[in-house]
Structure 1
Amino acid sequence: MPSGSNAKRERQYEHIKDSAKDRGESDKRAKEIASRTVNKERARSGESKAASRTSTRDMPSSRRGGQRSHSGAQGPTRDQLYNEARQRGIKGRSTMSKAQLSKALGR
């Protein structure tokens, strides 16, 4: 649990952590997801000393609800495609765009 939190944030942290575990995340990953979410909510509501611009001006985590996960319509990121191309030994991968990598991998 992030330091300097109140009882509400502790309950929120536990709820998010339990939800992540129910989805099959590891204990370490569930704690990371919960901490990041709670810290962002604290920053948005002015409970933290320092807050990044994206924390305060971005869409709230509760409303976003996984809209930016990489399993959506856009598919894997360029870096994910690049790593797969590297594992398969595809030549010229470092200069390829996301579309070119996708085509070279047969997607």
Structure 2
Amino acid sequence: MSRGDKSSYTDKQKRQASHIEESEKKKGRSEDSAERIAWATVNKHDGGGKKKKD
């Protein structure tokens, strides 16, 4: 279960997290663990949620 508000993330960051999560699940990780790893990886690469400027 996701703990934080993901609305500040761009569509690209959400897609990246989804792909990472699916990959982690294929490796045998639990749902919660896979989601945690996915968002931690996105945060590591991009420094957290960033809305694109209008």
TM bucket normalised to smaller: 0.7 to 0.9
Gaps of 5+ in 1: 48-107
Tell me how large the CA RMSD over aligned residues is: 2.2
2:21 to 10, 13, 17: 17
**4+ residue runs over 3 A deviation:** none
For 1:3 and 1:40, the matched residues in 2 are separated by 18
1:32 to 27, 31, 36: 36
Q: What TM-score, normalized to structure 1?
A: 0.38
Query: Aligned pair count?
Result: 46
Q: What TM-score, normalized to structure 2?
A: 0.72
Amino acid at match of 1:24: G
Per-residue deviation, residues 82-106 of structure 1 (Å, max 9, x unmatched): xxxxxxxxxxxxxxxxxxxxxxxxx
